[in-house]
Chain A
């Protein structure tokens, strides 16, 4: 399979992600410029972390109007796999490919640290290499990661099993302190209803090699491989 990583002005985790996909996961990975109109045959499009357009207006708000996002939207609507990491998650929310929105973190601080998240649904194409209840140690780095959706939407996504990851303590318990940014229902990652689009605030590419302090992020990429190649 082939990955494609979209580069916006202000993306800064694009090459980390390309490195993880090419060198660690070992699959061809195209770098996709946001002004192009071509996904170059990617089976999975990754929107990386960073600060697209300097986070002007709202995180992810301007990137959603980039030319390539039209192709990404059509690709997703046809069932193509799209993964948004951190700022990529924010872009997917602004695009309306995922439900809800991001608010400032509850303590108004930029958070750059390792967190632990629990796999809530191991039946998705982004988590099938993990198991339900598994605790992953993956870093976050964001200002606007406080997930919000209205009560009816929250009920829907919970009922449909769209919540993929929740912030938890190292033992897997859901506590207020573990929910570092104040997200509703401690949501750290979720899919669309169809299950082909996922957004997550933690950075799996930053937890993909032992030298980085954790390899837990590989679960996400290896799940995608399994989903596409088997």
Chain B
């Protein structure tokens, strides 16, 4: 099973990289761009797990390792079963 985990800064945390990208897009004339948040993507291959087991494991590794829960939030999805 392949899962994709997205890690991004919490909305309450300033994201200077996202702001810089937004400013660059504005400079190029993309005025419709209101906000940009930058984050990280992890694609993780899992073996021998049911969907329920994956649903327990993925948040655990996201919380423990992939993200710093003080500043980041995570979402995830199954790409292939």
Contact = CB atoms under 8 A, between A and B. Distances in A.
A40 interface: no
Interface string A66-86: 000000000000000000000
Contacts of A146: 16
B56 to A, nearest CB: 21
Chain A contact patch, size range? 10 to 19
Interface string B1-34: 0000000010011101100100000000000000
Given A104-B17, A108-B17, A108-B20, A150 B12 contact: yes
Interface string B63-78: 0011010110000000
A129 interface: no
Interface in A147-194: 148-150, 182
B20 A149 contact: no
B65 A148 contact: no
A73 to B, nearest CB: 15
| Residue of A57, A100, A106 with most chain B CB atoms under a 10 A cut-off | A57
Given A103-B14, A108-B16, A148-B13, A57 B70 contact: no
Contacts of B17: 104, 108
**Secondary structure of the A side of the interface?**
loop
A21 interface: no
Given A106-B16, A148-B13, A150-B12, A100 B65 contact: no
A58 B70 CA distance: 13
Contact of B68 (A65, A94, A104, A106): A94
- Give the interface size class of chain B: 10 to 19
Contacts of A107: 16
Contacts of B16: 103-108, 146, 182
A61 interface: yes
A201 interface: no
Contacts of B71: 101, 103, 148
Contacts of A148: 13-14, 70-71
Interface string B29-62: 0000000000000000000000000000000000
Contacts of A150: 12, 70
Contact of A103 (B13, B20, B65, B66): B13
Contacts of B66: 57
Contacts of A94: 68
Contacts of B68: 58, 61, 94, 101
Contacts of B70: 100-101, 148-150
15 contacts: A58-B68, A65-B65, A101-B68, A101-B70, A103-B16, A103-B71, A104-B16, A104-B17, A105-B16, A107-B16, A108-B17, A108-B20, A148-B14, A182-B14, A182-B16
Given A57-B66, A100-B70, A148-B71, 6 more contacts: A101-B70, A104-B17, A106-B16, A148-B13, A150-B70, A182-B16
